[in-house]
Structure 1
Amino acid sequence: MRTREEELAIRSDVFRWLDEQFIGGGGYEIHHTALKTYEFNGERIPLLDTGKGIRNPATFSSTLSIMSGWKANQYNDQHNDTGWVTYSYRAGDGGDNIKLVRAYENQDPIVYFRAVREGYYFPYYPILIAENDPIGRVVRLPLEQSLSILGDPMDYTEQQRRYAESIVKSRLHQPLFRAKVLHAYASACTICDIRHAELLDAAHIIPDATDFGVAHVSNGLALCKLHHAAYDRALLGITPDYEVRINSRLLDEVDGPMLRHGLQDMHGHTIRLPSSAKARPSRDGLAVRFQEFMNS
């Protein structure tokens, strides 16, 4: 068994490695095979156990990571809009449960892998398990550590509730929304087809600050940084028939190749749609947003 200092050093290095994977991969999802290639000082330490849903390396005294499955699983793990996860013990009283509880007792930082789609995960880290319920055989953990200081979500004040909602929307829902939108558009800008994920955003058609700005892929567009900024500032619009329109003021400007090729040449261009009909942008949403563009 490793010493606690050795375990904490490995956990810290795992977080560093995950940072690198996200920077290099555009920061939206990691395939399970990549998560099994992590090494520390030449020793391979898989970060994920897709068979169990909990990763407890033999030489660790407590849990390293837990995960949610893409499909419903027998342990019925639950997420909610407060940003908390309820994670069930495994059946029986084996070592996996002992190490999970020990992670809570020692406050050892873990990774929570949330399934984006089959085989692909978004990691939240470092996570500290906040509650252990041995009677209900569950632990509870916040996906954003600052939420733990607010206490029980059922007892939030109005101010705490608004703060929690802003955290959940910006730090929890948005990464998953981005992952699903970029996957739907094959990691390419729907307008210019640039294929570098690190240069892409998941743009909302109806802004998420409004009541109808749902974090569903049909309310999203994969846009490069330039076209996202232009879309948000009504310099670029997209019709319900999926055609690009450029603000008339920009069409008349003369200002070098970036304006000409990046925006003016896109006028009248048809966007590239996701292959899945369910993932295609909502025509109703585009119509509302295009009317705002026309009125600007």
Structure 2
Amino acid sequence: MKQIAFYGKGGIGKSTTVCNIAAALADEGKRVMVVGCDPKHDCTSNLRGGEEIPTVLDTLREKGMEKMSLSDIEKRIDIDEIVYKGYKGIYCIEAGGPKPGYGCAGRGVIVAIDLLKKMNVFEELGVDVVLYDVLGDVVCGGFAMPLRMGLAEQIYIVTSSDYMAMYAANNICRGMKEFAKRGGSRLGGLIYNVRGSLDAEDIVTEFAKKLGTEIIGKIPNSLLIAEAEIEGKTVIEYAPDSEIASIYRELAKKIYKNKNGVIPNPLENEEIMQIGKRVKERIRSLRS
């Protein structure tokens, strides 16, 4: 079983990327599981026609088991109460979070992953690949769990050529480098998701090189992505013969087959600021 985690700045397109990769792998006959690690619990909705599923934490709260030990929970809950099926049988799980204003938002990730392991869910369902869709650029607490101690074999960071997206990616790499000292996950590469009018692939390529990695795939702007999401679908399902669907399929193959990973070398503040200045210059050139 291969476990892969996806990180990146909030709103950068992680869930869109993860769901399309999951759909592409499922089309290839793989048994895929997507674990949504965002308290908003909408990571898997595009695999289920836009329908959101009950989260692990919500299910435990409703059953009065929120404060029970994992051993007690394991005896009182069934797999189908926390795992739901989506497109092509993809297993969907949403970790969820605490009630607003109470507790750590990362607790749902910790509870969900520990419970999945305790109940031997991966083995029971015969999963080939697990994709973790992790909240924004947070690399502390539960949100760091997929990369701590090498739970995920590889980490992929989704970024655009926006300065703040690369700034967030650099912070994620700082966390990865720290966890690597204790056996943490390796960086498989960057996924360049073009957003808006700025397509500065050369700047992102240079950024990746400085980190010690590469861009493993580029996702161009496509109105089909927005159309598909309005229907609660991936482009793999909505427009299977489209060019953008082919791009996602190729990316999915690369990620699944990739066995390489590096400990990133995060940029110092001055270096990342220099990249920001280059982005600013590129934006100004577009305006003129």
TM-score (norm 1): 0.28
More contact order relative to length (CA 8 Å, sep ≥ 6): 2
TM-score (norm 2): 0.29
* Structure of greater Rg: 1
Q: Which has the higher strand share?
A: 1
